[in-house]
Amino acid sequence: MTETLDLTHWIDGERVAADRPGESLNPSDTREVVARTPDGGAPQVDRAVAAARAAFPAWAEASPEVRSDILDRAGQLLMERKDAVGRLLSREEGKTLAEGVGETVRAARILKYFAGEALRVHGQNLASVRPGVEIQTYRQPVGVYGLITPWNFPIAIPAWKAGPALAFGNTVVLKPAGPTPATAEALVAILHEAGLPKGVLNLVIGRGGVGQALVDHADIAGISFTGSQKVGAGVAEGAVRRQARVQLEMGGKNPLIVLDDADLERAVAIALDGSFFATGQRCTASSRLIVQDGIHDRFVEALAEKVRGLKVGPALDPETKIGPAVSEDQRETSYRYIDIAKGEGGRIVTGGERLQLDLPGWYVQPTLIADTEAGMRINSEEVFGPVASTIRVKDYEQALAIANGVEFGLSAGIVTSSLKHARDFQRRARAGMTMVNLPTAGVDYHVPFGGTKSSSYGPREQGFAAVEFFTQTKTSYSAG
């Protein structure tokens, strides 16, 4: 057992004591309480927003070098503590230790990237159609942002939302996901240690009422949300009702096409990574494997062999390849969809059974399901677990049509040696991100992230695109 943390809100630069009725459990061993947690609500949100609003003028007018230095320092501190923070992440979320440390390093690099972006905010000088008139455009911070983050990337996503918000002079109220508040609190503490002024970044821990209070608050200028479609729709409706900015990321049902000309070993490795690593709990995971007839049977057999070799176990065990699901509900969702797939005629090639390990945890056996049709629920609804299904197709055109035939459109991949098909796929795949001979899961932090259709709404996240959501453009005319 490891020491249990007592978490607090962060409001106006201070830890705020509160009752702690909630618990964050270790999904690898549910006897272990990772943290005792407060259950905030509208009163705490009101205080946090008031603090953020009061801090906004000075932070917005601060030298960009000040903002850059703080973010860079926070990134460095996080990098230095990657092992300790990564271990906490793995204990709380269930990712393997390698994945937990890797995500922590990613968050540190995100902060450092936006430290640089704070210095690169630029405008334009334009010629007017009127003689003697000059025009300049420049970007200004917007105000207080509410950030609602998910549990599957409990430090990287708070970093890639808070990083640009802070870099461009905004202030923030962060609501972390219920299962993973300790990891988010560790990030907030490091940012304050790095020198963040009082009130610039606030943290309110609690359930859905905290998020709703942010969405409804008159002084929240923008909401950035990552989560489910159902909740996202309500967030968008609430924000638009009062004309607040809104940015949504709402998951995927990502296809990976494998054509007959693909290198089989490479295709299997790509599918294994995209479908099963991080326990399949990635919005970019490859949950639909669309495989051309000539390679289908060999691909399924080879992939099944690799899946059988994945060791499921505690996140901190160095031999573990697949950690537990984050919660009991998430575990049960995976098994429910496995049963649905079997009921619709899918064939369980490997997995699908309840695991009985020595530790009480929320473990899911990695599962590969063959003989499915495009219209089945397993191929149209997001499972968010280590479950993948295969769909047999005759040719590339049929594969592309099936890939595009769902309401999601986040990430889409193809494995092929055909330049013709690769280039055509990049143009015609209805997804915000396309991958050629790469897993659908796995993106860089310095480029835009987002999807099409029901996967995303509003401006892109991350990279150079983040400035669009977290600043507003002012156009200035002047005459001599």
Sign of CA dihedral 75, 81, 82, 87: negative
Using one digit for the tens of pLDDT, what is the confidence trace for 195-251? 999 999 999 999 999 999 999 999 999 999 999 999 999 999 999 999 999 999 999
Contact call for residues 362 and 27 (beta carbons, < 8 A): yes
Tell me how far apart the alpha carbons of residues 232 and 249 are, in angstroms, rounded to a whole number: 8
The two structure tokens encoding residue 155: 């430090």
Position 140 scores a pLDDT of 98
Q: To the nearest whole percent, how much of the chain has pLDDT over 70?
A: 100
Mean pLDDT of 278-305: 98
pLDDT band at 269 (very low <50, low <70, confident <90, very high): very high
249 is catalytic: yes
| Confidence tier at 2 by pLDDT (50, 70, 90) | confident
**In whole angstroms, what is the distance from residue 35 CA to residue 278 CA?**
22
Are the beta carbons of 7 and 40 closer than 8 angstroms? no
Q: Is residue 356 pLDDT above 90, yes or no? A: no
The predicted model gives 312-330 an average pLDDT of: 98
Note whether 85 and 102 are within 8 A (CB): no
**Catalytic site residue from 92, 93, 249, 461:** 249
Q: Chain-wide mean pLDDT for the chain?
A: 97
CA atoms within 13 A on the CB side of 377: 13
CB 335 within 8 A of CB 120: no
In one letter, which amino acid is 330? Q
380-384: long-range contacts, CB 8 A cutoff, minimum separation 24: 380/253, 380/406, 380/407, 381/253, 381/337, 382/251, 382/252, 382/253, 382/287, 382/408, 383/280, 383/287, 383/333, 383/334, 383/337, 384/152, 384/251, 384/280, 384/281, 384/283, 384/285, 384/330, 384/333, 384/334
Q: Is the pLDDT of residue 1 over 60?
A: no
In angstroms, the CA 184 to CA 297 distance is: 44
Question: pLDDT value at position 280?
Answer: 97
Check: CB of residue 357 under 8 Å from CB of residue 220: no
pLDDT confidence of residue 17: 83
- List beta partners, residue 292: 393
Q: Is the pLDDT of residue 405 over 80?
A: yes
Query: Does the annotation count 283 as an active-site position?
Result: yes
Say what the pLDDT of residue 97 is. 98
Contact between 56 and 76 (Cβ < 8 Å): no
Q: Is residue 86 a contact partner of residue 100, using CB atoms and an 8 Å limit?
A: yes
d(CA 235, CA 104): 28
The pair of three-digit structure tokens given for residue 383, joined into one six-digit string: 């499972």
Question: What average pLDDT does the segment 381-391 reach?
Answer: 97
pTM reported for the whole predicted model:
0.97
Q: Which of 103, 283, 382, 461 is catalytic?
A: 283
3-class DSSP assignment, residue 36:
strand
